[in-house]
Amino acid sequence: MSVLLAGKRLLITGIITDASIAFSVAKIAQEQGASVVLTGYGRMSLVERIAKRLPTPAPVIELDVTNPEQLAGLSDKVREHVDGLDGVVHSIGFAPQSCLGGGFLDAPWEDVATAVQVSTFSYKSLATACLPLMGSGGSVVGLTFDATKAWPVYDWMGVAKAGLESASRYLALHLGKQGIRSNLVSAGPLRTMAAKSIPGFEQFEDAWADRAPLGWDLTDTEPTARAVCALLSDWFPATTGEIIHVDGGYHALGA
Ligand SMILES: NC(=O)c1ccc[n+]([C@@H]2O[C@H](COP(=O)([O-])OP(=O)(O)OC[C@H]3O[C@@H](n4cnc5c(N)ncnc54)[C@H](O)[C@@H]3O)[C@@H](O)[C@H]2O)c1
């Protein structure tokens, strides 16, 4: 039986625990026939331990997306494991505490700059670092949280996500001639480490539980990961600059 990602070579960032969206993406991608290389940030021994829980243990390359040397060396490090890339997953976000939880009016520029560098600019940095390995048919996929609205407590992370959504459209514009697509999945709230660092995150949880037309499981990253895998596959060959919502339908509702 043919599988969705047979023969695809993927670079997946953003695993820190087995609750990470990226863990679910890597698991499903392997189940669907892909070869997966991971990148990890900070706590490398933890990421390596989590990587062993995948159906096939995957190699892990250290990558801080704000580190120019690591970005410059990334394609050579990836080549030690695979001879090219068909897809890249950006599953990275970070904002200092001052930027979240209602501090919008007081957060200093240095902290906002960090949020934007890690959560927005890095989408472009990661894609260009991988370009030497990618050809026509390649797919870059990132994760957003609906940035068309101002949410309580999301503050500057919301601004960073609005930038990410725009950056994905510009990446689609600039990489289209090379046959490379750029798309985002807009997920509903999920109880990951990144989510736990947002003071007041339970407000999202309650809103989704009450209102999402299809209902919403805060601990199930699989629907989001499946959408990421679909966008990495050959089944969206003419789709780029797009945002697919995986949020139980919440975005479709009025106030
Ligand atoms: N959890 C949610 O509710 C939710 C909803 C929508 C979108 N998202 C997005 O999904 C993506 C993945 O987050 P998650 O919820 O799985 O949380 P997570 O905490 O499991 O993953 C976030 C990852 O970002 C990585 N990271 C932070 N700074 C980095 C840096 N400088 N260089 C490289 N990596 C760095 C962390 O190591 C971690 O692996 C993020 O973009 C997040 O904003 C999350």
pLDDT tens digit sequence for 188-203: 999 999 999 999 999 9
Q: How many secondary structure helices (H) and strands (E) does the chain include? A: 9, 7
Ligand 1 midpoint to CA 90 (Å) = 9
Strands (E), the chain: 9-12, 35-40, 60-62, 85-90, 134-144, 181-187, 242-246
pLDDT in tens, 67-90: 999 999 999 999 999 999 999 999
Task: List 245's β-bridge partners, or say none.
Answer: 186
Mean pLDDT, the chain, as a whole number? 97
CA nearest ligand 1 atom 11, residue:
91
Q: Is the pLDDT of residue 2 over 90?
A: no
pLDDT at 50: 97
Pocket of ligand 1 from Cβ distances under 6 Å: 14-17, 20-22, 41-42, 63-66, 91-94, 118, 143-145, 187, 189-190, 192-195
CA nearest ligand 1 atom 37, residue:
41
pLDDT in tens, 144-179: 999 999 999 999 999 999 999 999 999 999 999 999
Helix, coil or strand: residue 209: helix
Judge contact between 119 and 95, C-beta under 8 A.
yes
Q: Is the pLDDT of residue 8 over 70?
A: yes
Q: Is the pLDDT of residue 255 over 80?
A: no
pLDDT at 1: 67
